[in-house]
Copies of this chain bind each other. A is one copy, B any other.
Amino acid sequence: MSDALAPGAVIGILGGGQLGRMLSVAAARLGFVTHIYEPGANPPAGQVADRVTTAAYEDAAALEAFAASVDVVTYEFENIPTEALDLLEAHRPIRPGREALRVSQDRLTEKTFLQGLGLNTAPFADITDLDSLRAAIGTIGTPAILKTRRFGYDGKGQARLRSPEDAEAAFADMAGAPAILESFVEFTHEVSIIAARGLDGQVACFDPGENVHREGILHTTTVPARLSPSQRTDAVLLAANILNALDYVGVMGVELFVTPQGLIVNEIAPRVHNSGHWTQNGCAVDQFEQHVRAVAGWPLGDGRRHADVVMENLIGSDMERVPDLSRESDVAIHLYGKAEVKPGRKMGHFNRIIRTR
């Protein structure tokens, strides 16, 4: 543990949303102090962090001061401006590292990287203009999905093409942003695997969870997922493959489509992931602590699952369900401290413990 941060060290977290909030709590549990960097005022993570810097990612002075005050920098989201990362990295290690960010910030780069590892992805094509879209439809066919290369999340920046005639409208939806066309994959269900890699190269995976989305937003994650033993092995091997290729340090979420022909990698997220929230009530060490352990240079924790869990997100007015949920035994509630309820806003989640084992 010579590279390990000692308790009392300061972990800097870029982003003050719910992921930063739960990372902050996990860091505190291991005796670390957290400093949140977030452009928005009163971030949810600030309520459980020792320190908050409210500043833009373009504010060089604020970034410098932040870097000087922390021992390591991590983040809760991948779309951090490159210039900010350059500046921070001159002072402190950023974990997970730059390569993971570079790859995951751009869907085209990500898909190309995954293919280069020999992993299965949906057929895709680089879309620069309407002509290239039409040509891609000719190769890939429809149905297909047009997605912006950057800054997409929770179904935003996506347009479905049911037939070639949808090309123009879908292209217009991209508003001129570089995009990729992905073939629509005929999958039976979607799973994700939350994988971690330590500073020493050790890899550990949580059990895969099965995800159901509603309106492009994760609705539930159920563990165990419906997977055959060989599919489980495949999931672990491909996650380890990705992490090792990136010399990754931290937790990553890997979304997979399950098809009769095998697993197809949908996308990777170089951070703790909504589909890993079940670990808070299913494992002694959850994904947040696992991430903190990795970025702090600690040995990875034991992520063995001790319970079957269904995680369900509380979106917008789902908050009205909290009084009823609080009466249910076997439901563990996790709220994010967001003052304002908005439609589509992730306000919290709950883990229903189905069976301990």
Determine the chain B residues whose CB is within 8 A of the CB of A248 once the complex forms: none
Determine the chain B residues whose CB is within 8 A of the CB of A4 once the complex forms: 323, 326
Determine the chain B residues whose CB is within 8 A of the CB of A7 once the complex forms: 319, 322, 335, 337, 348
A336: Cβ under 8 A from any B Cβ: yes
- Chain B's nearest CB lies how many Å from the CB of A312? 15
**Bound: A339/B8 CA distance, A:** 7
A230: Cβ under 8 A from any B Cβ: no
A302-B326 contact, Cβ under 8 Å, with A31-B348, A337-B31:
no
The reply to whether A333 and B29 form a contact with Cβ atoms under 8 Å apart is yes
Determine the chain B residues whose CB is within 8 A of the CB of A46 once the complex forms: 50
A285: Cβ under 8 A from any B Cβ: yes
**Bound: A351/B41 CA distance, A:** 37
Neighbour of A302 across the interface among B25, B47, B329, B339, CB < 8 A: B329
A61: Cβ under 8 A from any B Cβ: no
- Chain B's nearest CB lies how many Å from the CB of A17? 14
A73: Cβ under 8 A from any B Cβ: no
A273: Cβ under 8 A from any B Cβ: no
**Bound: A139/B1 CA distance, A:** 59
A28: Cβ under 8 A from any B Cβ: yes
The reply to whether A326 and B293 form a contact with Cβ atoms under 8 Å apart is yes
- Chain B's nearest CB lies how many Å from the CB of A40? 16
- Chain B's nearest CB lies how many Å from the CB of A50? 4
* Docked complex: A42-86 residues within 8 A CB-CB of B: 46-50
**Bound: A188/B330 CA distance, A:** 35
Neighbour of A307 across the interface among B299, B301, B302, B306, CB < 8 A: B306
Determine the chain B residues whose CB is within 8 A of the CB of A32 once the complex forms: 337
A24: Cβ under 8 A from any B Cβ: yes
Determine the chain B residues whose CB is within 8 A of the CB of A329 once the complex forms: 301-302, 304
A261: Cβ under 8 A from any B Cβ: no
A357: Cβ under 8 A from any B Cβ: yes
A298: Cβ under 8 A from any B Cβ: yes
A172: Cβ under 8 A from any B Cβ: no
The reply to whether A47 and B25 form a contact with Cβ atoms under 8 Å apart is no
**Bound: A8/B30 CA distance, A:** 26
**A residues neighboring B (CB under 8 Å):** 1, 4, 7-8, 21, 24-25, 28-34, 46-50, 281, 284-285, 293, 298-299, 301-302, 304, 306-307, 319, 322-323, 326-327, 329-330, 332-337, 339, 348, 351, 353, 356-357
A-B contacts, 7 listed (Cβ < 8 Å): A31-B335, A47-B50, A293-B326, A301-B329, A306-B353, A306-B356, A356-B356
